[in-house]
Amino acid sequence: MATALITGASNGIGLELAKIHAAKGDNLVLVARNITKLNQIKTELESQFKISVHTIGKDLSLLNAAQEVYDELKQKNITVNYLINNAGFGDYGFFYETNWEKELQMINLNITALTHFTKLFLQDMVKHRSGKIMNVASIAAFLSGPTMAIYYASKAYVLSFSEAIDNEVRDKGITVTTLCPGPTETGFLEAAALQESKLFKGKKIAGAKEVAEYGYKAMMEGKTVAIHGFMNRIMANMVRFIPRALVVKAVRSIQGKTN
């Protein structure tokens, strides 16, 4: 029986991915800060699907968190077959006005924790010559984002890093998939204070369940980059042919707050 480790598993895309893996009969390792919520999910999924769920309450913005999770699983002799780096958050505002401590946490979570998890578990996957990794980026990975500069840059890192690693390990029976959702109904909007931006207000946006189903299918098929949504795929490819200065101006306009 395979085991999937999912970070940011207490809500949104991470929770929906946990449900999908559970329905497929996979055991789970769920990681998030809210251990109470994780244990509620554990009870529900174990009862419904007769699988084993191991929960770890951890703030992944702390620098040694990934190592601590890895060491705990080693001690419990749990082998991870699917690694899903889903945890992440954003912030909204001009860089010269935003809070540095929050931005440092964002960099540590969106970049450092994801990279460290990949490093640790990929080494085991290479030894076993099997395994799949999904790193959750965003359509933001293809753009520069005024008013969300660090978030967009962090997702560009995830995309570039994951594509390179996928190339390195594909011949060893391992695939690395980068999931790039567009705007999605999760707690992200509230956390990033984006409810009033023109990018989201009044728009119909994708549900976490459909994005998770799309991402799971892409990972199982071994896709390198999976962009959810037809219009998002068009945009991600179209921006390569538009002067970067115009793209940046367009993003600035779209992310401005509505009056």
Question: What pLDDT does 239 receive?
Answer: 81
- The per-residue pLDDT of the chain, averaged, comes to 91
Place of tokens 């594509």: 163
pTM over 0.75: yes
Contacts of 167 (CB under 8 A, 6+ apart): none
Cα separation of 246 and 59, whole Å?
38
Percent share of the chain, pLDDT over 70: 91
Cα separation of 197 and 201, whole Å?
6
CA 12, 89, 27, 56: dihedral to nearest 10 degrees? -120
Question: If you ran DSSP here, which 8-state letter would residue 257 be given?
Answer: B
Place of tokens 């191991």: 54
Stretch (H or E) spanning 207: strand 206-207
Helices (H), 143-200: 149-169, 188-191
Cα separation of 162 and 16, whole Å?
22
Assigned token pair, 110: 């969106």
Mean of pLDDT values over 24-31: 98
Question: What pLDDT does 32 receive?
Answer: 98
Q: Which amino acid is at 86?
A: N
Q: Which amino acid is at 229?
A: G
For residue range 74-132, what is the model confidence (pLDDT) as tens digits?
A: 999 999 999 999 999 999 999 999 999 999 999 999 999 999 999 999 999 999 999 99
Question: What pLDDT does 204 receive?
Answer: 66
Q: Does the annotation mark 70 as catalytic?
A: no
Question: What pLDDT does 193 receive?
Answer: 52
Q: Is the Cβ–Cβ distance between 29 and 78 less than 8 Å?
A: yes
Q: Which of 48, 59, 56 is nearest to 72 (CA)?
A: 56
Catalytic-labelled residue, pool 132, 155, 214, 216 = 155
Q: Which of 1, 6, 3 is nearest to 215 (CA)?
A: 6
**Considering only 12-26, 66-80, 157-171, 236-250, which range has the smallest mean pLDDT?**
236-250
Q: Does the annotation mark 92 as catalytic?
A: no
Catalytic-labelled residue, pool 70, 82, 92, 151 = 151
For residue range 158-206, what is the model confidence (pLDDT) as tens digits?
A: 999 999 999 999 999 999 999 999 888 766 555 545 555 555 555 568 8
Query: Rounded to a whole number, what is the largest CA-CA distance in the chain?
Result: 56
Pairing of strands 174-180, 131-136: parallel
Domains of the chain in start order, with CATH, are: 3-254 (3.40.50.720)
Per-residue burial over 16-32, b if 16 or more Cβ lie within 10 Å, else e, is: bbbbbbbeeebbbbbbb
Mean of pLDDT values over 28-48: 97
Mean of pLDDT values over 13-36: 97
Query: From its phi and psi, is residue 83 left (phi > 0), alpha (psi between -120 and 50) or beta?
Result: beta
Is it the case that residue 64 has pLDDT exceeding 50? yes
Higher pLDDT, 133 or 229: 133
Cα separation of 3 and 249, whole Å?
44
Question: What pLDDT does 205 receive?
Answer: 80
Assigned token pair, 53: 């769920």
